[in-house]
Amino acid sequence: MAGKARRRPYFGADMTDPAPLASIAADLSGGRTSGLRFLDDRGTLAIVLDVTGLAADDRKPLEDRLRAGLLEQPGVREVRVAMTAEKKTMTIIAVGSGKGGVGKSTLAANLAVALRRIGVKVGLVDADIYGPSQPRLMASEDVKPEARGSKLAPVPNAYGVPMLSTGQIAQPGQAIAWRGPMAGKALEQLVDASWGDIDTLVVDLPPGTGDVQLTMIQKHKPAGAVIVSTPQDLALMDATRAINLFQQADVPIIGLVENMAGYACPHCGEVSDPFGSGGAEAAAKVMGLDFLGRVPLAMAIRLASDGGVPPAAGTDPAGEPFHAIAAKVAEWLDARKGK
Ligand SMILES: Nc1ncnc2c1ncn2[C@@H]1O[C@H](COP(=O)(O)OP(=O)(O)O)[C@@H](O)[C@H]1O
Ligand SMILES: [Mg+2]
């Protein structure tokens, strides 16, 4: 005899085949496991669990479920779980404008809600330190985000678009004192928050083209930018400065939105064009940019917005322009993914 026969594990040769256990682990974890193997013949199992995109609070319960489920299998005595997570890079869509009051925040909120309705896992960041308005637009005023570990937990809302706003982390009236580094830090907290499975962020930027905006754009490089302007704004070329800001930072312009374009009659909904129409579209063409659509000046939009109900969330016709714009932005995102 050539020495002692190697001791076989009591569960038999078939249980050293990890394939059936691997498929059980995949079922238990929603396909997040890999690298399952036995470390010894005493039933010590090692497995890698990918927790990318999961909120910190959801990781431990998943690990526990996985371990408990595997321990129920014959021959498994111990389960060593190694958690890994890819550092997630968010796709950031910046919404910018040459100046305030053109409906940038209104567009950002409705774009996010409309993208959500077509299945994009989207969150909203209100980076407008000078006049944060997303808490009002998304009916989340007075809600303070909680900390989840070392990160902020975005505030949920009825529209399925978790949100974080400078307005929620600053005291009212303090915002104006935020200069350069402080503003950069604040935005960092908002972008690098505990976003869970959100992969796309719509960021409502401060209006204009100051240093704060530039720092933000360079630090959290957006995938693309949507520029909002009114017909008058375009005539004054304010929008051009915003466009230059992004182009300097190598951020592609997704396209131009003309807001408050024409007047929608509150009675019949018909849009009249006191300033004529097609100007923004023509201007976009001259600048070599895509035109994403026009949103009429409509009482319904202002009332719904002030009331914390983004028009894109309902079935009101006032939401339609936003859905059309979101469809174009989604198309742009898909084309980018395909590259
Ligand atoms: N298309 C529109 N029709 C009617 N009111 C609008 C429209 N877009 C924006 N508003 C209103 O104009 C004001 C400024 O819009 P806001 O989105 O806060 O602009 P910005 O973020 O560019 O400063 C808000 O009261 C908003 O409800
Ligand atoms: Mg605003």
pLDDT at residue number 5: 47
Is the Cβ atom of 213 under 6 angstroms away from ligand 1?
no
Please list the residue range(s) of the chain that carry CATH number 3.30.300.130: 17-84
Is the Cβ atom of 102 under 6 angstroms away from ligand 1?
yes
From first to last of its 339 residues, what are the pLDDT tens digits of the chain?
A: 444 445 444 444 445 678 899 999 999 999 899 999 999 999 999 999 988 778 778 899 999 999 999 999 999 999 999 998 776 688 999 999 988 899 999 999 999 999 999 999 999 999 988 789 999 999 998 888 988 777 889 999 999 999 999 888 776 555 555 666 677 777 888 998 889 889 999 999 988 887 778 877 888 889 999 999 988 766 557 788 889 989 988 999 999 999 988 887 888 878 787 666 667 778 888 889 999 999 999 999 999 999 999 999 999 899 999 999 999 999 999 998 876
Q: Of the residues 104, 305, 306, 309, which should be mutated to test ligand 1's pocket, given the most ligand atoms within 8 Å of the CB?
A: 305
User: Hey, what are 117's tokens?
Assistant: 């309705």
Helices (H), the chain: 19-29, 56-71, 104-117, 134-137, 166-169, 180-191, 211-219, 231-236, 238-248, 279-286, 299-306, 320-338
pLDDT at residue number 295: 94
CA distance 206 to 131: 8
91-338 to CATH, choices 3.40.50.10470, 3.30.1330.60, 3.40.50.300, 3.20.20.60: 3.40.50.300
Q: What are the binding residues for ATP?
A: 98-105
Please list the residue range(s) of the chain that carry CATH number 3.40.50.300: 91-338
User: Residue holding tokens 């100051």?
Assistant: 210
Residue nearest to atom 15 of ligand 1 (CA): 103
Give 257 Cα–ligand 1 centroid separation in angstroms. Answer: 13
Does pTM surpass 0.85? no
In this structure, which topology does domain 17-84 adopt according to CATH? GMP Synthetase; Chain A, domain 3 (3.30.300)
Contacts with 185 (C-beta within 8 Å, 6 or more apart), sequence order: none
Residue 217, phi then psi, degrees to nearest 5: -65, -40
pLDDT at residue number 175: 54
